């Protein structure tokens, strides 16, 4: 890596980046903005749990919730696409093929997302007609975007996929590159399962879960496995042979358990009974690869005595390994057996798991890549021990993680109360629902969720400030590894 002129060290300068990386920082920028929007709408939805009148008729709960979770999915996708473009030239050894097209698609994608959100906000209620699916909202949780945008998304991701596959094909295919390309086929292919319309809700849910579950518990996991492999080579100088061997093992375990683990969403939607056994068994195995990922990153960090070139990035990679294990593995396992899920299904217990899993497994890793990007953008600046202004990234990390854990515990308490009162005692009836919602334990849990939500939001503000300034006061060049990453 050529050292930049020392006088530009610490300054944001796109001349430090290759073509793929210049495009990546655009994706990263939009990702951070959408992350902020996600938090804002989450806070509004949370207030409405406590004061149901709040903004009623102006910005309804249904809309806030929808924007909250759609922004989540989209910012993570932008973060992933950015991360892949970030590593593409390093991994393949050649400039990105079709970069001009990639840039054009970035703008189309971003404008489409903006248009969809504006329509969500402007048309909050109305008749559900066929045109609604095309123009306003498809009504499928997490991926509510109307069909015109669906088609646009498919075109955008096809272009992205072409750029990635063609670049690896023309350059060199590493193990990471090979796994990544195969995984992207599955990841984007599955999106199609959430696009067609059927009036039967059971059938609709059956296919919709192919997108949601097989994304977060299979194809996204493999994608972040590839990103983590690259991140560990870069920040710790771990040898390629080691990370790729782990990657193959993790991928095999993840697909082995995650694909049929899909059955844990087929317990109560009108699908045949054999799903109890299949879903219960395979989803119970899903934590196994997540343990492997923790062992992997802790082992690598230990073997390198934590000598790393980018402290914030490695800290977030470790947070990812643990967050993935606890949020997806432990919190998922808690309610994945049908005997338990009978009581917990659709309570705040699910929301508790959803928050910890999405944050722990995915938000953390995208944040790690933001720090990897900023280091190079500022001329490969020092980001190890004694970094000037390091308190900001550390406090952002503490507030975000504590805020998240606090919210998750609060929701878990509310969820326990719902399972006990609404389900076990009142037998899932209409009255049981309201009795549970009015119970002080439930209400207090929702208050604590909100309080910790503010802490999380404060962490985000600090994170954004840190991202704008980190390394700006450093005049040292990044720590170099004694051994080359690619052995």
323 lies in the binding site for ligand HEM (CB under 6 A): no
Q: Which does 355 bind (CB under 5 to 8 A by kind): Fe ion, ligand HEM, none?
A: ligand HEM
Q: Report the residue number, 213 or 449, with the smaller CB distance to Fe ion.
A: 213
Q: Is 286 in the site for ligand HEM (CB under 6 A)?
A: yes
Q: Is 376 in the site for ligand HEM (CB under 6 A)?
A: no
Classify burial at 107, counting beta carbons within 10 Å of its beta carbon; exposed 0-12, middle 13-18, buried 19 or more.
Answer: exposed
Q: Which stretch binds ligand HEM (CB under 6 A): 39-47, 121-129, 165-173, 178-186?
A: 39-47
135 binds, among Fe ion, ligand HEM, none (CB under 5 to 8 A by kind): none
Among 21, 271, 283, 310, binds ligand HEM (CB under 6 A): 283
Intra-chain end-to-end CA distance of the chain, in Å: 16
Q: Does 43 bind ligand HEM (CB under 6 A)?
A: yes
Q: Which is nearer to ligand HEM, 110 or 341 (CB)?
A: 341
Q: Does 205 bind ligand HEM (CB under 6 A)?
A: no
**Residue 264 Cβ, how far from ligand HEM at the closest point, in Å?**
4
Q: Which does 205 bind (CB under 5 to 8 A by kind): ligand HEM, Fe ion, none?
A: none
338 binds, among Fe ion, ligand HEM, none (CB under 5 to 8 A by kind): none
Note whether 270 binds ligand HEM by CB under 6 A.
no
Of 23, 165, 363, 396, the one binding ligand HEM (CB under 6 A) is 363
Rule CB under 6 A: choose which of 9, 24, 39, 463 binds ligand HEM: 39
423 binds ligand HEM (CB under 6 A): no
351 binds ligand HEM (CB under 6 A): yes
HEC profile for the chain?
CCCCCHHHCCCCCHHHCCHHHHHHHHHHHHHHHHHHHHHHHHHHHHHHHHCCCCCCCCCCHHHHHHHHHHHHHHHHHHHHHHHHHHHHHHHHCCCCCCHHHHHHHHHHHHHHHHHHHHHHHHCCCCCCCHHHHHHCCCCCCCCCCCHHHHHHHHHHHHHHHHHHHHHHHHCCCCHHHHHHHHHHHHHHHHHHHHCCCCCCHHHHHHHHHHHHHHHHHHHHHHHHHHHHHHHHHHHHCCCHHHHHHHHHHHHHHHHHHHHHHHHHHCCCCCCCCHHHHHHHHHHHHCHHHHHHHHHHHHHHHHHCCCCCCEHHHHHHHHHHHHHHHHHHHHHHHHCCCHHHHHHHCCCHHHHHHHHHHHHHHHHHHHHHHHHHHHHHHCCCECECCCCCCHHHHHHHHHHHHHHHHHHHHHHHHHHHHHHHHHHHHCCCCHHHHHHHHHCHHHHHHHHHHHHHHHHHHHHHHHHHHHHHHCCCCCCCECCCCCCCCCC
How far apart, in whole angstroms, are the C-alpha atoms of residue 414 and residue 408? 10
Among 321, 456, 462, 467, binds ligand HEM (CB under 6 A): 456
For the chain, the farthest-separated pair of C-alpha atoms sits apart, in whole angstroms, at 71
Interface stretch with ligand HEM, choices 7-15, 100-108, 330-338, 464-472 (CB under 6 A): 330-338
Residue nearest to Fe ion (CB): 213
Region of 36-44, 77-85, 122-130, 465-473 interacting with ligand HEM (CB under 6 A)? 36-44
Round to whole Å and give the CA distance between 433 and 438.
Answer: 9
Binding residue (CB under 6 A) for ligand HEM from 78, 266, 358, 371: 358
Residue whose beta carbon is closest to ligand HEM: 332
> Contact 232/300 with Cβ under 8 angstroms?
yes
Query: Closer CB to Fe ion, residue 296 or residue 335?
Result: 335
Q: How far is the CB of 271 from ligand HEM (least distance, A)?
A: 13
Nearer to ligand HEM, 331 or 377 (CB): 331
Name the binder of 334 from Fe ion, ligand HEM, none, CB < 5-8 A by kind: none
Rule CB under 6 A: choose which of 10, 82, 280, 332 binds ligand HEM: 332
* From 246-254, 281-289, 295-303, 430-438, span contacting ligand HEM (CB under 6 A): 281-289
- Contact residues for ligand HEM, defined by CB under 6 A: 39, 42-43, 45-46, 49, 65, 68-69, 72, 141, 216-217, 264, 283, 286-287, 328-329, 332-333, 335-336, 341, 345-346, 350-351, 353-355, 357-359, 361, 363, 453, 456-457
């Amino acid at each position: 890596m050529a050292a930049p002129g020392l006088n530009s060290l610490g300054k944001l300068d796109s001349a430090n980046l290759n073509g793929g990386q210049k495009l990546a920082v655009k994706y990263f920028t939009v990702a951070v903005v959408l992350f902020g929007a996600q938090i804002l709408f989450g806070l509004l939805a949370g207030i409405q749990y406590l004061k149901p009148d709040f903004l009623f008729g102006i910005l309804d709960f249904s809309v806030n919730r929808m924007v909250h979770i759609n922004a989540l999915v989209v910012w993570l996708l932008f973060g992933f696409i950015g991360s892949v473009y970030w590593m593409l030239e390093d991994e393949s050894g050649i400039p990105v093929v079709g970069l001009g097209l990639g840039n054009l698609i970035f703008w189309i994608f971003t404008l489409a997302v903006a248009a969809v959100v504006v329509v969500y906000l402007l048309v909050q209620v109305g008749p559900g007609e066929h045109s609604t699916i095309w123009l306003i909202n498809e009504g499928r949780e997490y991926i509510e975007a109307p069909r015109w945008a669906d088609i646009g998304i498919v075109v955008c991701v096809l272009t992205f996929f072409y750029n990635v596959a063609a670049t690896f094909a023309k350059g060199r295919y590493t193990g990471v590159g090979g796994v990544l390309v195969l995984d992207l086929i599955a990841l984007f292919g599955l999106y199609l399962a959430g696009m067609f319309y059927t009036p039967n809700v059971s059938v609709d849910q059956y296919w919709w879960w192919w997108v949601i579950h097989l994304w977060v518990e299979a194809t996204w996991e493999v994608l972040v496995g590839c990103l983590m492999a690259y991140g560990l080579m870069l920040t710790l100088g771990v040898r390629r042979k080691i990370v790729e061997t782990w990657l193959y093992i993790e991928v095999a375990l993840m697909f082995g358990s995650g694909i049929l683990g899909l059955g844990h969403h087929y317990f109560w939607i009108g699908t045949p009974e054999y799903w109890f056994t299949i879903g219960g068994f395979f989803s119970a195995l899903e934590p196994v690869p997540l343990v492997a990922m923790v062992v992997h990153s802790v082992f690598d960090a230990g073997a390198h005595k934590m000598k790393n070139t980018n402290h914030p990035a490695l800290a977030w990679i470790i947070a990812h390994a643990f967050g993935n294990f606890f949020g997806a593995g432990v919190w998922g396992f808690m309610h994945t057996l049908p005997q338990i899920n009978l009581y917990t299904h659709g309570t705040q217990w699910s929301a508790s798991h959803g928050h910890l899993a999405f944050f722990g497994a995915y938000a953390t890793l995208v944040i790690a890549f933001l720090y990897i990007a900023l280091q190079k953008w500022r001329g490969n600046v020092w980001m190890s021990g004694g970094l000037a202004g390091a308190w900001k990234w550390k406090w952002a990390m503490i507030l975000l993680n504590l805020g998240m854990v606090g919210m998750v515990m609060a929701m878990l308490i509310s969820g326990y109360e719902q399972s006990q009162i609404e389900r076990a005692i009142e037998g899932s009836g209409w009255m049981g629902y309201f009795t549970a919602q009015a119970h002080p334990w439930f209400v207090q849990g929702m208050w604590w969720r909100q309080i910790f939500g503010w802490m999380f939001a404060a962490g985000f503000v600090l994170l954004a400030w840190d991202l704008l300034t980190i390394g700006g006061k450093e005049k040292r060049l990044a720590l170099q590894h004694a051994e080359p990453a690619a052995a």
